[in-house]
Amino acid sequence: MTDTTAFDPKKYLTRVNGAEYLEVKWRLVWFRHDNPNGRIHTELVTHEDNIAVFRAFVEIPEQGSATGWGSESAGDFRDYLEKAETKALGRALAALGYGTQFCPDFDFGAEDNRVVDSPIDISRTRARRPASTEQTAATARQIKFLFAIAREAGISDEDLNREAQELYGRNAEELYRRDASAFIERLQQRRESVHAAS
């Protein structure tokens, strides 16, 4: 028997940073409620130096699809693999409209508390974060991955450093670990756009 009752996301909202937030698990319940035949595929894209990058693909047959990216490190979460996958899935679901209005995934002004499945522009929150969490230098593998993604997106080393300076106040090779992670995620989205256009 099919459930004809509309899913009400407002019943499952929590508060994060003083704003209403719909956790990924409820976005997933909502998606499955509306689309029992919808397709979800997650893939571990890279896992190096205790940094995981996942891609999630969510599709509503004959209606639309979306891709979401998520990255996390062991320094941020002990269960960073799961968190990276959850982040990717949450962003893909939000891109399809499931919880978009109840999550900061596409609001790059998100501040203060860190929600696992939403990006935070570290350059905007730097003044409010303890200095000790910012001072860990990016790993060599992070930097190597950053430059590799930039090349795939058609960005020269010079342009990459210029953008790093604008966003984080330093060249790409000098980024802090969290800034590098945020920058990687930003470039992955751009790389996807380049591949989609070709």
Tens-place pLDDT, residues 159-188: 888 888 888 888 989 988 888 888 888 887
- Highest mean pLDDT among 14-23, 169-178, 188-197 belongs to 169-178
Helix spans in the chain (H): 24-34, 80-95, 122-125, 131-134, 140-152, 157-168, 177-197
DSSP helix/strand/coil, 66 = strand
pLDDT of residue 143: 87
pTM exceeds 0.85, yes or no: no
For residues 194 and 150, what is the distance between their CA atoms, to the nearest angstrom? 11
pLDDT of residue 166: 84
Which residue ranges form the domains of the chain, and what is each CATH number? 13-119 (3.30.160), 121-198 (no CATH)
pLDDT of residue 168: 81
Is it the case that residue 129 has pLDDT exceeding 70? Answer: no
Mean pLDDT, to the nearest integer, of 78-92? 91
pLDDT of residue 3: 57
- Max distance between CA atoms of the chain, in angstroms, equals 59
**Residue 62 burial (10 A CB sphere; 0-12, 13-18, 19+):** exposed
Amino acid found at 190: R
For residues 99 and 113, what is the distance between their CA atoms, to the nearest angstrom? 19
